[in-house]
Amino acid sequence: MRYHLALLLLACALPVQAEGLYKWTDERGVVHYSDYPPPTEQKSGVSKLNKEGILLRKGESEADKRAHEAELVRKKQEQEQRAEQLRYDRALQERYRSTADIAAERDKQIKLLQTGLRTLESQLRMASAQLNDLNNEANKLRQSGKTISDGLRSQLAEKQRLQNETTALIQSRRAEIERLRVKAAQDMLRLQELNKPAAPASH
């Protein structure tokens, strides 16, 4: 028992031998080899070699680390995009049986938007006509040298605001209709690709 305890104490007292070698280049360009890694971080990175001097792990410089991290980010983004595409494809096939279904829904949504668009266009024509009448009234007052009342100025500002807001809404509604058309076209093309029969395997 005492013999085994002495051997254990002796083993603990002996210095631990490092496995393999470490290689690095310092800031002066001097190459170092050591049984132990350098005490401070090296800009060029630290390579690990086995006992025979064969490279096990190449040291990474700061530029290498940034490039490696950027590559990891790129791969992660690609994986997320593929996963998102799979989810989208699955939802597309579950929702529509054919491109005709996509076209029918597109037409239904566009019809609703066009109804609202016609209402906005009617409101714009009315607001523009009222603004034109108010401007004519203000011009007559100016030509006759009379002062434009605060009430007329307030009406002019209000009608101008209404005209601008309605114009913006009309532009937004038209853009939404165009987005629907583009998206429907993309969905139809994708659905055709997904539903395309697989090519027979060649022998």
Half-sphere exposure of 158 (CA within 13 A, CB side): 8
In 96-203, alpha helices (H) = 99-143, 150-195
**pLDDT score at 51:** 74
**pLDDT score at 194:** 94
**pLDDT score at 90:** 96
Report, as ranges of residue numbers, the positions in the chain whose pLDDT lies below 50.
Answer: 1-18
**pLDDT score at 203:** 55
CA distances from 179 to 93, 150, 151, 167, 175 (A): 21, 43, 42, 18, 6
Token duo for residue 12: 């603990």
**pLDDT score at 13:** 40
**pLDDT score at 202:** 61
The DSSP element (H or E) to which 1 belongs, if any, is none
DSSP, residue by residue, 39-52? SS--TT-EEEE-TT
**pLDDT score at 119:** 97
For 131-162, what is each residue's pLDDT tens digit? 999 999 999 999 999 999 999 999 999 999 99
